[in-house]
Chain A
Amino acid sequence: MAAWRRTAFRLLTACLFRRNPVSLGRCARGFTSSKALRKGNDFFKDLESEMKKFHEKLVTALPGSDWTPIHRNLNLPPERADIVIVGGGVMGWAIAYWLKKKERIRDGVRVVVVERDPTYTQASTVLSVGGIRQQFSMPENIHMSLFSCYFLRNINEYLSVMNEDPIDVQFNHAGYLFLASENGAQVMEENYHIQRREGASVVLLSPEQLKKKFPWINTEGVALASYGLENEGWFDPWILLNAFRKKAISMGVYQCFGDVTGFKTSSREMVTASGEKVDFKRIRHVIVQMPNSTEYQPVECALVVNAAGAWSGNVAQMAGIGDDSRDDILSMPVPVEPRKRYVYVFHSPEGPGLDMPFLIDNSGAYARREGLGGNYLGGQSPTEDGEPEVSNLEVNYDFFTENVWPNLANRIPSFQNLKVKSAWAGYYDYNTFDQNGILGIHPLVNNLYFATGFSGHGIQQAPAVGRAIAELILDGNFQTLDLTNLGFKRLFVGEKMLERNIV
């Protein structure tokens, strides 16, 4: 009796409130059919999803949202931007980061970084060996490298993003060891004095001291050696690139994957002081084409930064620089071209141990330790006439057996016994004029900035270059490091700023 009343009561409440038809079904099987049960379930589930859909529609339709009835491709860059950075390597992202760091008000500049290849398969940044050194002959290079070291040391102060792990660039502080024969000893000593004066900790070693410190070296043919004690070594460039990227994106930089296929420029005829007529150009739009599609977006911009690495010459040509049909300064092309360099990974069981620095032989061959398992990285810059072709990144292993191995085995006898494990190739953004970076604004295309042509030492100057370009753009002048010697003027005047220590 009481049981019947209980179930009737439950049924009643269930019918009224429709709370939990499943448990009801269990108690009073005869009264509700399974069909009604299923309907009841669906109604509640549908209600939830309907509410969600309605909520989403409401959010998108309210004023202030980007909803339009016209279908848009969200991968396109914005239609208008203040600064467009062509090239998403470490240079491009360093510039984007420093621009955002230096802007005085939040969202003061809208920065868009356009990168062609999201997988970075051909980018020089990720294929680089990642070495950093202060042993240059130009004071500007030394200071840039010193600042980059300072940046890497305090990288968490600069690039840490809330909620992420602290950044560790895997810096190996092993130092660089340059060896010089009789011919190069004089130059090395002069460079040493310049380096000490600018604040790099470098020492010169005679062959006897060298043998005592590194007993595994064969000092035959070595007249002088220059060893960096501090702030020199190698690190992981991919981690640095990603750190810059994440921090810049968190500060509001727009990232766009697309190919810059052209610029829309406007020009004005102007007369120089000597009466020569020149065409003064300004880039109005950057045409960005989406990958694997003909869809493109002309981005209206105020400034363009060319950080395209090995392909900067092509990008500059799109702006009309290097146009042979003219006979003013615009006919002079930007002298940056890709040059292929090989890096070989080999294993040598009796190789030098933990004290091995980044060794650079007087013949140009270099080698460094990789990890703790007896693996080494090595390579050599080919001579001018032996330059490999740059259409692809295929590795030529004969180059190792013919050129690199004999030099390395001559210098480090334990390398006579080695086995090549793998190799890769990457491009140098080689400045054919004087192998140093080109930093600054082009004199005739008034809103095109260049940060390219570093010829193999770009990764170690990236933070400094980023800051310098950001200062040029936002402050108008170099504030911290004066890099006017690396500007465009030297290309037109013909004055080479040669860097004598190129690897």
Chain B
Amino acid sequence: VQVCRQASVHLWQRAPWRDCTSATRPDRAPRISFRTRVLQLLYNRFYDIEYLVNRSQSLRNWSLRRKNAFHGYTRERYGDNVAAACYILNLGGGIRFSGEREWFWKNQLGKFGGDLNHFREIPVEEVDAKGTPITYDGLNNLTLLSSLRTLDLSNCPHVDDWCLSRLHTLSESLEELSLSGCKKVSDKGLATLHHLKKLKKLELFDLPHISNPGLVCILLEEVMPECEILGIDYSDVLKGNSLEEINKQHS
């Protein structure tokens, strides 16, 4: 369905009472696979297919929401830190408590140890959530951590500007944040990072959705003077154009 949603427009204008026409985009002509085209045709003609497709999408949303549920029971019984640890480990990420040198991960069978019980009072210091399906609702588990120092959210497909705006609760302690490869993050979300006063290192590699990355980097550095921003090069502004070409354009 993801593919269906991103395909082009011409098959939509079938039913005559459906007056919604979107602007034709002549410059974008993605290759639509035969399977997608058949599915779209069937979607437009049959109510059953429409119901099934919508249902499968809502099931996908439901399962994502379930993975990111708030671990309220765990929090009541074992405390904030263990709840956050359970949540991250369930998603497939890693966690490190303060004072410990070893990281906790899920083992191959998908289980993690019961010795988390010992860490009720010890705060979580680093969270590695690379590539996990963490969402805005799931961040409710992490915002309770009062001494989180490192948060690695690189390559998380569902992290967007809303998630970044939620990070303000970690403003007292967060020192390193990584957002590389998060496709939905844009410069509006990055503007909210000024709440994180103690942030020292910010990684912003490979963020395609930001317009003017060089300008955003300069503005961010103005607002957060102590923070080191990695991953955005000022020469990105000259993407593909050499200096001579730009001079020619301006003269």
Contacts and interface: CB of A to CB of B under 8 A. Distances in A.
A26 B40 CA distance: 45
B168 A252 contact: no
B191 A163 contact: no
A153 interface: yes
A164 B11 CA distance: 11
A164 B22 contact: yes
Given A160-B5, A229-B195, A372 B215 contact: yes
A163 B165 contact: no
Contacts of A161: 20
Given A163-B4, A170-B188, A354 B195 contact: no
Interface in A96-130: 106
Interface stretch (A242-250, A270-278, A445-453, A459-467): A242-250
A250 B17 CA distance: 9
Nearest to A254: B17
A354 B215 contact: no
- How many chain A residues sit at the interface, stated as a range, is 20 to 34
Contacts of A254: 17
Given A157-B61, A173-B192, A174-B191, A372 B168 contact: no
Contacts of B188: 170-173
A351 B136 CA distance: 32
B47 A106 contact: yes
A1 interface: no
Interface residues of B, number: 42
A355 interface: yes
B interface, over-half SS: helix
Contacts of A229: 168, 195
Interface in B190-220: 190-192, 194-195, 212, 215-216, 219-220
Given A161-B20, A170-B188, A372-B187, A230 B166 contact: yes
A173 B216 contact: no
A387 to B, nearest CB: 34
Contacts of B191: 172-174, 354-355
A231 B222 CA distance: 24
B189 interface: yes
B118 interface: no
Interface of B: 1, 4-9, 11-12, 17-20, 22, 40, 43, 47, 53, 58, 61, 136, 161-162, 164-166, 168, 187-192, 194-195, 212, 215-216, 219-220, 222-223
Q: What are the 4 closest A-B residue pairs judged by CB atoms, nearest first?
A: A173-B165, A355-B194, A249-B20, A354-B191
Given A160-B5, A353-B222, A354-B222, 6 more contacts: A165-B5, A171-B162, A173-B189, A173-B192, A353-B219, A354-B191
